[in-house]
Amino acid sequence: MTGEVLTVRGATRRYGGRMAVEDADLTLTPGRITALLGPSGCGKSTLLRQIAGLEPVDAGSIHLGDRLLSEPGRQVAPQDRGIGLLFQDYALFPHLSVLDNVTFGLRHLPRERRRKRALAELDRVHLADRAAAWPHQLSGGEQQRVALARALAREPGVILLDEPFSGLDRHLRGEVRDHLLTVLRTQGAAVLVVTHDAEDALMMADDLALMDGGRILQTGTPEACYRAPVSAVAAELLGEIQVLEATVVDGVAETAFGPVQAHGVPEGLASVLVRSDQLTPAAEGVEARVTGVRFLGAEHQVSVARGAARARFRATGSPPTVGEVITVRLTVGREAVLAAKR
């Protein structure tokens, strides 16, 4: 592995008149996992393919350390980049055994070294005993682990994973994700995981990049992006969000459900971004009328109203009843207050 930082600066990709990726900046650091999170069709897989060398850049550049990988009119071939790629459908060769799938990218090595390297990688993903099997004989999780072993066998400095859990049943995702995370962390490479699933992104990432409409909206730690989103769109990528109208006066944003500190936010109209755990029943707060209760299994979603304003929260235990007046408290920080665009 090279141990070098991969940098994307101003990467852009157009298809005719449609902008798929626009002016994207991204940094992948050795030993850290970055999750690129966004809805389907937002451009995240196109950006991954640009990093892999499968798509050109129409503007901007991609470097691995000091080595230029891509710029307009020039790009290093995918096989010469030192980058491992795990495709969304795993892309195993159906006519090759598990062992031969893993040795496929090691043809530059003598035959016996290829075999030893491949078996070592299969052992690392706990599939050495399936080396003679065919891809169709494996479960979805096992196929993914073979594809990962193949990607790791060349000891790449950068590893790219495109929606690695999309083909797995929900009950398998956690187990496979935990195993994958353990293997990736021992590798020490710079890792990019492309996903549309907020839970996967939050569980895996050291660093997070939020993308929508071809643009990267925000980068930072998962907690920073969750607690201090730059916009309602960015906030919603990480889970349910509600927007309360507010007016900022003397460093306080007044909402229908209570005040929020807003030091540094310009006076005037603003929005307060609230997650479902930030509005709660309390002994002190403001009174609100319950307008709806929905059963969600371990908890209930409770909808409340104050005049024309609406909000909701999650409640455990016995929920209030529709029509009941309860006291609720809003507990969000200044980072959740966004001044209205002028």
Name beta bridge partners: 329: 280
In this prediction, residues 8-21 reach a mean pLDDT of: 95
Residue/partner pairs of 144-147 with CB below 8 Å, 24 or more apart: 144/86, 144/90, 144/168, 144/176, 144/180, 145/176, 145/179, 145/180, 146/90, 146/92, 146/98, 146/101, 146/102, 146/122, 147/86, 147/87, 147/90, 147/91, 147/92, 147/101
Q: Is pLDDT at 274 greater than 70 in this prediction?
A: yes
Bridging pattern class, strands 83-86 and 158-162: parallel
CA distances from 330 to 121, 172, 206, 268, 315 (A): 51, 37, 29, 20, 14
- What backbone torsions phi and psi does residue 77 show, to the nearest 5 degrees? -60, 150
Q: CA 96, 98, 102 angle in degrees (round to 5)?
A: 90
Q: What is the rounded average pLDDT for all residues in the chain?
A: 91
| pLDDT score for 187 | 81
Does the pTM exceed 0.85? Answer: yes
Summarize pLDDT for 285-298 with one digit per residue, the tens: 999 999 999 999 99
Residue 145 has pLDDT above 60, yes or no: yes
- Write the pLDDT tens digit of every residue in 192-245: 999 999 999 999 999 999 999 999 999 999 999 998 899 999 999 999 899 999
Percent of the chain with pLDDT over 90: 69
Report pLDDT digits (tens) over 307-327: 999 999 999 889 999 999 999
Residue 56 pLDDT level (bands cut at 50, 70, 90): very high
Ordered by where they begin, the domains of the chain are 6-237 (3.40.50.300), 242-339 (2.40.50.140)
pLDDT at 262: 94
For residues 229 and 268, the answer to whether their CB atoms sit within 8 Å is no
Model pLDDT, residue 154: 84
User: What does the pLDDT look like over 253-262, one tens digit per residue?
Assistant: 999 999 999 9
Q: What's the gap between Cα 271 and its chain centre?
A: 25
- Residues 81-111 pLDDT 10s: 989 888 877 788 899 999 999 998 788 888 8
Inter-CA distances, 122 with 69, 91, 167, 183, 190, Å: 30, 17, 21, 11, 21
Q: If you average pLDDT over residues 51-75, what whole number do you get?
A: 96
Please report which confidence band the pLDDT of residue 342 belongs to, taking 50, 70 and 90 as the band edges: low
pLDDT band at 148 (very low <50, low <70, confident <90, very high): confident
> How many CB atoms sit inside 10 A of residue 39's CB?
13
Q: Confidence band (pLDDT; 50, 70, 90) for 20?
A: very high
| Residue-level pLDDT at 1 | 47
> Would you say residue 2 has pLDDT above 60?
no
